[in-house]
Amino acid sequence: MRRLFIKTYGCQMNVYDSARMAEVLAPLGYAVAAAAEDADLVILNTCHIREHAAEKVFSELGRLRKLKLRRGGDMVIAVAGCVAQAEGQEIMARAPHVDIVLGPQTYHRLPEMVARASRAGGRVLDTEFPAEPKFDYLPSPTAHGPAAFLSVQEGCDKFCTFCVVPYTRGGEYSRPAGAILDEAAALIGQGVRELTLLGQNVNAYHGRGADGAVWGLGRLIRELADRFDGLQAIRYTTSHPGDVDDELIAAHREVPRLMPFLHLPVQSGSDRILAAMNRRHTADDYRRLVDRLRAARPDLALSSDFILGFPGETDRDYQATLALIDDIGFAQAYSFKYSPRPGTPAAGMEGQVPEQVKEERLAGLQRLVAGQAMAFNRACVGRRFPVLLDRPGRHPGQLLGRSPYMQSVFVDAPAELLGSMQVLRVTRANANSLAAVLDGGAS
Ligand code: 5AD
Ligand code: SF4
């Protein structure tokens, strides 16, 4: 028996990829270890989106180097994910104790990479975008609890000027619908009740359907709901406003098990900045789109990403972003100071905004969004809704789940309810969560 430790950074796609890597390696006798200290094979599954991402990986690699020395060199170290894709050569050159560097598209080849690396001196760099999609080579998935992720799409063709994703994850690729339905069936057969469909730009999904036609995300969601009675909640993330089509809006209207929450990043409320970001939509396009979505599903809760201090952003642009937030009313949002990514067009743009201005704008925006989130949470007090209790809470006797609107909800409940869907009544709103009581039995 050998031991494997995977440290995952970044987005949910990486969480999904890490689970799949563990599954690919299981037939070689690798069981998951709790810490790098106990592992024969350590994989860092990296994320390139945040600032200094590569430096963080190198400092983690410094720590692993000491562990490897302590074990007399008897440890295979692999770097996977988006930093590996972007900085593969650099990692090979700067970190000789790293045995394997692999990109997000080649982890189905991990068994042979590990075999090569286990032979003396056999270092491997594989950051190809292979013609054969990795999904065709992955084993059937193992469920780890009642909620699961399912990657349906990867990569992005949008080329927003601040973003590294089109370079690290490559061009847009949609999995055939049949493979997705098979994976869903396997997960649901193991007790999964909630699926989150994943993709860098998930609503660009356009996979070959079982009937030979091209299915969009709306159709895929509808088919999942139709085929699987055991599937009680469907979510998807992350979306681009330009790829929300009529079929997807109709799914929000007509598929009750599609949860009323949508993470739909807008990034800015200024048309000038949106154009410089190459977002391909205006602030009013976004307002109109949200109107249409809310007409279809009036209780739809919205979330977004915002970038503050994009090159050339003036105070007026910033005010336009605040005005958009005022108009929409978000249930939650993520916000980031712009930081240049080498190789992206915005990194070389004129008008880089001073750090202090970015910080002030970020703080102002976060105050506004926190107020909206608190108001949204308060409006939920007294409401009843079904919640899949998928995790133990922080305190003994507590279980945790997600509301239909994606808020964390905690409830005092016996441990045997873990994994079940229960109707809860919300009793208290916090800044980032709801407190609830059991109210009405299983749903
Ligand atoms: N600087 C700041 N934020 C960024 N994001 C992506 N690239 C950058 C960058 N260079 C943010 C965007 C995106 C989220 C995942 O990360 O808001 O939607
Ligand atoms: Fe990056 Fe999203 Fe823009 Fe694609 S749509 S380039 S993933 S921010």
Cis peptide bond prior to 238, omega within 30° of 0: yes
Nearest CA to ligand 2 atom 3: 160
User: Are residue 39 and residue 120 in the same domain, yes or no?
Assistant: yes
**CA-based radius of gyration for the chain:** 22
Q: Which of 110, 117, 33, 48 is nearest to 76 (CA)?
A: 117
Q: At what angle do helices 217-227 and 246-254 cross, to 10 degrees?
A: 30
Instruction: Report residue 254 as tokens.
Output: 């007509």
Q: How many residues does the chain have?
A: 443
CA of 161 to the centre of ligand 2 (A): 9
CA of 112 to the centre of ligand 2 (A): 32
In-domain check, residue 374:
yes
Domain stop point among 97, 126, 155: 126
In-domain check, residue 280:
no
Q: Which of 195, 223, 187, 229 is nearest to 207 (CA)?
A: 223
Q: How many CA atoms lie within 13 A of 316 on its CB side?
A: 4
268 neighbors 305 (Cβ within 8 angstroms): no
CATH at 295: 3.30.750.200
Question: What ligand 1 atom has the least distance to the C-alpha of 11?
Answer: 15
Domain stop point among 379, 405, 434: 379
Residues near ligand 1 with C-beta < 6 Å?
49, 162-163, 265, 267, 305, 307, 336, 338-339, 341
User: Are residue 390 and residue 369 in the same domain, yes or no?
Assistant: no
Question: What ligand 2 atom has the least distance to the C-alpha of 200?
Answer: 7
CA of 303 to the centre of ligand 2 (A): 16
User: Are residue 87 and residue 21 in the same domain, yes or no?
Assistant: yes
Per-residue confidence of the chain (443 residues) as pLDDT tens digits? 899 999 999 999 999 999 999 999 999 999 999 999 999 999 999 999 888 888 999 999 999 999 999 999 999 999 999 999 999 999 999 999 999 999 999 999 999 999 999 886 689 999 988 878 899 889 889 998 999 999 999 999 999 999 999 998 889 999 999 999 999 999 999 999 999 999 999 999 999 997 899 999 999 999 999 999 999 999 999 999 999 999 999 999 999 999 999 999 999 999 999 999 999 999 999 999 999 999 999 999 999 999 999 999 999 999 999 999 999 999 999 999 999 998 899 999 999 999 999 999 999 999 999 999 999 999 999 999 999 999 999 999 999 999 999 999 999 999 999 999 999 999 999 999 999 999 986 55
User: Are residue 85 and residue 164 in the same domain, yes or no?
Assistant: no
In-domain check, residue 370:
yes
User: Are residue 408 and residue 355 in the same domain, yes or no?
Assistant: no
Query: What domain range includes position 302?
Result: 285-379
pLDDT at 169: 87
CATH at 417: 2.40.50.140
Q: Could you give the number of structural domains in the chain?
A: 4
Instruction: Report residue 163 as tokens.
Output: 């973003």
Extended beta strands in 23-154, E state: 30-32, 41-46, 76-80, 100-102, 124-126, 147-151, 153-154
Q: Which of 295, 305, 312, 288 is nearest to 253 (CA)?
A: 295
419 neighbors 408 (Cβ within 8 angstroms): no
DSSP state of 241: G
For ligand 2, whether the C-beta of 201 sits within 6 Å is: yes
CATH at 248: 3.30.750.210
In-domain check, residue 265:
no
For ligand 2, whether the C-beta of 153 sits within 6 Å is: no
Question: What ligand 2 atom has the least distance to the C-alpha of 277?
Answer: 3
pLDDT at 364: 98
CATH at 39: 3.40.50.12160
Question: What ligand 1 atom has the least distance to the C-alpha of 162?
Answer: 10
In-domain check, residue 208:
yes
138 neighbors 23 (Cβ within 8 angstroms): yes
DSSP state of 120: T
Q: How many whole angstroms separate alpha carbon 97 and alpha carbon 94?
A: 9
For ligand 2, whether the C-beta of 156 sits within 6 Å is: yes
* Residues in contact with 326: Cβ distance below 8 Å, sequence separation at least 6, in sequence order: 368
User: Are residue 119 and residue 76 in the same domain, yes or no?
Assistant: yes
User: Are residue 206 and residue 301 in the same domain, yes or no?
Assistant: no
In-domain check, residue 79:
yes
User: Are residue 173 and residue 233 in the same domain, yes or no?
Assistant: yes
What φ, ψ does residue 25 adopt, rounded to 5°? -90, -15
User: Are residue 23 and residue 71 in the same domain, yes or no?
Assistant: yes
In-domain check, residue 400:
yes
pLDDT at 50: 82
Q: How many whole angstroms separate alpha carbon 231 and alpha carbon 234?
A: 8
75 neighbors 40 (Cβ within 8 angstroms): yes
For ligand 2, whether the C-beta of 203 sits within 6 Å is: no
User: Are residue 20 and residue 118 in the same domain, yes or no?
Assistant: yes
- Please tell me the pTM assigned to this model: 0.94
User: Are residue 99 and residue 118 in the same domain, yes or no?
Assistant: yes
User: Are residue 375 and residue 423 in the same domain, yes or no?
Assistant: no
Residue 204 identity: A
pLDDT at 211: 85
Q: Are strands 433-442 and 421-429 parallel, antiparallel or unpaired?
A: antiparallel
In-domain check, residue 236:
yes
Domain stop point among 126, 149, 184: 126
